Amino acid sequence: MKNLNAGYGFLKVLWDVSIQIDRGEFVALVGPNGAGKSTTLKTISGLLPPQSGKITFDGQVINNQDCALNCRNGLSYISEELNLFTGMTVLENLEMGAQLLDDKNKMEENLQFVFELFPRLEERVGQYAGTLSGGERKMLAIARGLMSNPILVLVDEPSLGLAPQVTEEVFNALKVLNKKGVTILLVEQNVTKTLKFSSRAYILEKGEVVLEGPSSELITNDHVKQIYLGT
Amino acid sequence: MNDSSSAKVIEWLKSAGGITVTCTILVAIAVSFHKGPYVLVNTLVTGGMWALMAIGVSLLFGVMNISNFAHGEYFMIGSLTAYYIMNPLKQYLLETPNDFLSFITPILGIAGAAIVGAIAGIVTDKTIFAQLRKRNREGWLLNCFLITIGIQIILINVHMLVFGNTFKGVVNYWDVPSVAFGDVYVSVDRVVVFGIAMAAIVLFWYLMMYTSLGKKIRAVAQDENGARMVGIQVNGVYSTTFALACGFAALAGGSLLFMFPSYPTVGVAPLYNSWFIIILVGFGNVAGAVPGGFMIALFQVVTRTYMGEGWENVIPMFLIAMILIFKPYGIFATKVRSVWEQ
Ligand SMILES: Nc1ncnc2c1ncn2[C@@H]1O[C@H](COP(=O)(O)OP(=O)(O)O)[C@@H](O)[C@H]1O
Ligand SMILES: [Mg+2]
């Protein structure tokens, strides 16, 4: 992603943001509220058309490509709003997540995998998504996003509104996923934890990248310490 | 039946929906005793078709947030198509009788109507609503309302200009003896039309609940962005929804050609009926459209029988006003709220 500018209507939110992620990496994008993190993910995913700049995925420019097509190409977006199908059961939501797969066995395999990551979902397969608790919904949204065998997963604030213990569960699941070779771009406000789990990070403030580097180095950076870690 | 399920049935009977359904059935029985069972035949024949119309309107509203005031014109397109398929064939059959051709002529007419209606629906979506979606979604509801009124006016006037202001109908579909149910004789046309409505409703329900296309439509209705995120091409789903909704309206128009000859404004009454039904059962309640269709048909048949022609739109209108005052979310709002959005 290069020199990306994006926003809503006349409002410009992102100013020449450039992010580069290699295959198999676990990259974090952190920053304060309203910095434009969600806008960045929405633009990459194809839900929001960019104003200018270039988004490349797997060597292809995907600038005005529909979200559905990106999903077909292996890009999975798990939004902050979750966008679950609330009138469908947990299982139906997961099946919808796998609806691009032709292979029925592959779907069963993925189902087993997400149930291993989130055993709680397996207990609630027949429950309507609209009746799940906040944490369970988040797990379902992540699980649904993994059902399509993605190459790259974009996750927006999985820790938002979750108990610390559940957050830990979710982050561990992402780590497991990354170990299996899936590339991850994680957006978070929970800086300490995110920098611990990710290998590299970008810091976004007011729509611009202000810092970037390996997470282990950023955690000792003065700016980060002062503003995000409060030490 | 165990205790809890019988308690549920009793509770349902006491709800607004239960009371209305029970009253409808009682009225139907009373009327058929008083005026003879023929009254019920027309209720069943038209009720199924009004249900199909209302399902279409509900679907367009539930999936795409479009309140379609041009829905009656797809009914008109259906009746017009059926007429122009059946009439020439019937003329030809007068000169050269052919058993097989006279058997399939109505089937061709009705099927042709549904197909032409579905195509008209797709064309409407691609040329108008797809363009509007591309621009932006601001003021979507009002824009769609105005656009559908425009489509209605255009289609009515095109009919007038091209096909004239005359009634274009057929007297009957099949020249065969009536079917006897006990000592009640019902024409084959009516039996078949009722069968078509029931078959279409069952097929539609199956499509929505169990096929991947139906699941996609439900997914888009529940969360459009969510649907895009799992790789559903929403534009295709929108066109399919239009094809289904308009196809059903045209199927109703084609099937009822023997009762409602085609003329420019033939779709206006069916449109009102479908809005009656939707207000009665609650917005977006696709399953409720089926009992709603029969209720409206019964109201109309009963008022026409007892009060004379012309009253059949007044009394239901009054009842709808009462329902809106006392039960603004429709009679099933608390209970049924559409099968797939509970
Ligand atoms: N749908 C929208 N329409 C208009 N402005 C928006 C919309 N969504 C977000 N914004 C604005 O864009 C800016 C960045 O928001 P966002 O990307 O959600 O930030 P973050 O996720 O980093 O908290 C904010 O100022 C917000 O008000
Ligand atoms: Mg955000």
Kindly report, residue by residue over A82-137, the tens digit of the pLDDT.
Answer: 999 999 999 999 999 999 988 889 999 999 999 998 999 999 999 999 999 988 99
H helices then E strands: how many in chain B?
14, 2
Q: Which residues of B touch A45 (CB under 8 A)?
A: 229
A131 touches chain B (CB under 8 A): no
A72 touches chain B (CB under 8 A): yes
What is the domain-level CATH number for residue A21? 3.40.50.300
| A120 in a structural domain | no
Is the CB of B341 less than 8 angstroms away from the CB of A87?
A: yes
Please check the confidence at residue B336 and state whether its pLDDT lies above 60.
Answer: no
Domains, chain B, ranges and CATH? 3-326 (1.10.3470)
Please check the confidence at residue B335 and state whether its pLDDT lies above 60.
Answer: no
Is the CB of A84 less than 8 angstroms away from the CB of B230?
A: no
Cα B39 from chain centroid? 20
Q: In the predicted model, what is the mean pLDDT of chain A?
A: 88
Give the highest mean pLDDT range of A171-180, B23-32, B98-107, B245-254: B245-254
Is the CB of B231 less than 8 angstroms away from the CB of A72?
A: yes
- The ligand 1 atom at the shortest distance from the C-alpha of residue A35 is 22
Q: Which residues of B touch A92 (CB under 8 A)?
A: 215
Query: What is the pLDDT confidence band of residue A80, given thresholds at 50, 70 and 90?
Result: very high
Ligand 1 center to residue A40 CA distance, Å? 10
B137 touches chain A (CB under 8 A): no
CB count within 10 Å of CB B1 equals 8
Write down the pLDDT at residue B258. 95
Q: Are B289 and B62 in contact (CB under 8 A)?
A: no
Residue nearest to atom 21 of ligand 1 (CA): A38
Structurally, chain A folds into a number of domains equal to 1
Query: What is the pLDDT confidence band of residue B338, given thresholds at 50, 70 and 90?
Result: very low
Provide the domain limits for residue A39: 1-74+187-231
| A110 in a structural domain | no
Q: What is the dihedral of CA A115, A116, A117, A120, to 10 degrees?
A: 50
Question: Among all residues of chain B, which has the CA nearest to that of A75?
Answer: B229
Q: How far apart are CA B206 and CA A102, in angstroms?
A: 22
Enter the pTM of the model: 0.89
A86 touches chain B (CB under 8 A): yes
Average pLDDT for B256-274:
94
Q: Are A9 and A180 in contact (CB under 8 A)?
A: no
In short, whether A86's Cβ falls inside 6 Å of ligand 1 is no
A45 touches chain B (CB under 8 A): yes
Please check the confidence at residue A1 and state whether its pLDDT lies above 70.
Answer: no
| A66 in a structural domain | yes
CB count within 10 Å of CB A213 equals 13
Write down the pLDDT at residue B255. 97
Q: In the predicted model, what is the mean pLDDT of chain B?
A: 89
Is the CB of A148 less than 8 angstroms away from the CB of B230?
A: yes
| A167 in a structural domain | no
| A67 in a structural domain | yes
Q: Over the stretch A21-39, which tens digit does the pLDDT of each residue have? A: 888 999 999 998 899 999 9
Q: Over the stretch A196-214, which tens digit does the pLDDT of each residue have? A: 889 999 999 998 889 999 9
| A38 in a structural domain | yes
Q: Which two tokens stand for residue B179?
A: 């079917």
| A40 in a structural domain | yes
